[in-house]
């Protein structure tokens, strides 16, 4: 008696598959980059950035040259077809294959310089967190290191207009760390996100050097322009700029493409900003009235009057 409902449900779904629409990409497995392949590449990239800390442990330091060359070769072989597919070419045409190869060679050549920038991020974490006991602890245990490292690498591919793959990379880091940084964001050196959970940084953000964010900070868009058909216009500057040596405390929200947080400013916790502030500013809310009373006076319950 259960056969009819099951069959009917299958037929109903099959009918929707035959209709036009963006979620009916039945050839996606062949024509879109493989999410597992990109996630695996992220693991290997972290191993290249922090050998011995991420990935398989090295038996001896003398193994590092061979292991590094092997990882580079393996990454190139696995990412090349995925980049080709990201350009909508599967099987990859000779032109797409050449383009993918050129992008990958450039990307790999940038990794050594990017690694130097990552060391400034680790140094910023060590100097900015009194709980940090060692650089090793930061590399293996701080989620911000992983999120920032992957974003910086994804940003390289984003800058070469590689579709889809940069977002897959940063979403892998987002899932693991709770830190959501769009690959389009431009971020200077010595960047530190303390704790990190719930941080959101939009595509067109520009962040200077020596910037420190705490958990729950959002650097987002204020509003979205719409076209004559009521659809959101894509592109354009939508997210704020944060200049050098700015600190933004937990759960603060800064919105808007025209919003600039001036250098050396401090934004206090739970602040909501939709306009610029000049350099050397301190932005905070006046503390609301707070009452502290003895619990026994009300039998352990809150008084009827709110704080």
Average pLDDT of the chain is 87
The secondary structure of residue 286, as a DSSP letter, is: P
The secondary structure of residue 32, as a DSSP letter, is: S
87: tokens are 């350009």
CB 172 within 8 A of CB 150: yes
Check for a shared fold between 28-178 and 185-307: no
Q: Which residues pair with 51 in a beta bridge?
A: 54
Per residue in 155-193, pLDDT (tens digit) is: 999 999 999 999 999 999 999 999 999 999 999 999 999
CB 156 within 8 A of CB 186: no
Higher-scoring residue by pLDDT: 137, 301? 137
- How high is the pLDDT of residue 303? 57
- How high is the pLDDT of residue 217? 98
Segment 129-148 mean pLDDT: 95
| Superfamily, domain 185-307 | Hexapeptide repeat proteins (2.160.10.10)
- Please report the DSSP string for 196-222 in residue order: -TT-EE-TT-EE-SS-EEETT-EEE-S
The residue ranges of every structural domain in the chain are: 28-178, 185-307
The percentage of the chain sitting over the pLDDT mark of 70, rounded to a whole number, equals: 87
- How high is the pLDDT of residue 307? 40
- How high is the pLDDT of residue 15? 79
Classified by CATH at the fold level, domain 28-178 comes out as: 1.10.3130
Per residue in 43-94, pLDDT (tens digit) is: 999 999 998 776 666 545 677 788 888 889 999 999 999 998 898 765 667 8
């Amino acid at each position: 008696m259960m056969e009819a409902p099951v069959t009917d449900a299958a037929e109903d779904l099959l009918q929707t598959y035959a209709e036009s629409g963006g979620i009916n990409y039945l050839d996606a497995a062949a024509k879109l980059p493989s999410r597992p392949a990109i996630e695996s590449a992220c693991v290997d990239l972290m191993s290249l950035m922090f050998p011995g800390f991420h990935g398989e442990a090295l038996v001896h330091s003398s193994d590092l040259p061979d292991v590094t060359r092997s990882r580079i070769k393996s990454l190139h072989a696995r990412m090349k077809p995925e980049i080709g597919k990201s350009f909508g070419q599967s099987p990859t045409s000779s032109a797409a294959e050449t383009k993918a190869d050129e992008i990958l060679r450039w990307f790999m050549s940038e990794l050594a310089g990017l690694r130097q920038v990552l060391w400034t991020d680790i140094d910023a974490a060590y100097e900015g967190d009194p709980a940090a006991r060692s650089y090793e602890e930061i590399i293996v245990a701080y989620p911000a290191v992983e999120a920032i490292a992957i974003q910086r690498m994804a940003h390289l591919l984003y800058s070469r207009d590689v579709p889809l793959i940069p977002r897959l990379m940063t979403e892998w880091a987002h899932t693991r760390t709770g830190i959501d940084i769009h690959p389009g964001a431009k971020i200077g050196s010595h960047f530190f996100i303390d704790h990190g959970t719930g941080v959101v940084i939009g595509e067109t953000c520009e962040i200077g050097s020596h910037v420190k964010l705490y958990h729950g900070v959002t650097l987002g868009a204020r509003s979205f322009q719409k076209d004559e058909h009521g659809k959101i216009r894509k592109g354009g500057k939508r997210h704020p700029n944060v200049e050098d040596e700015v600190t933004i405390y937990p759960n603060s929200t800064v919105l808007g493409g025209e919003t600039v947080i001036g250098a050396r400013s401090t934004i206090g916790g739970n602040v909501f900003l939709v306009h610029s502030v000049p350099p050397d500013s301190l932005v905070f809310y006046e503390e609301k009235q707070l009452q502290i009373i003895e619990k026994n006076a009300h039998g352990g319950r809150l008084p009827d009057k709110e704080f």
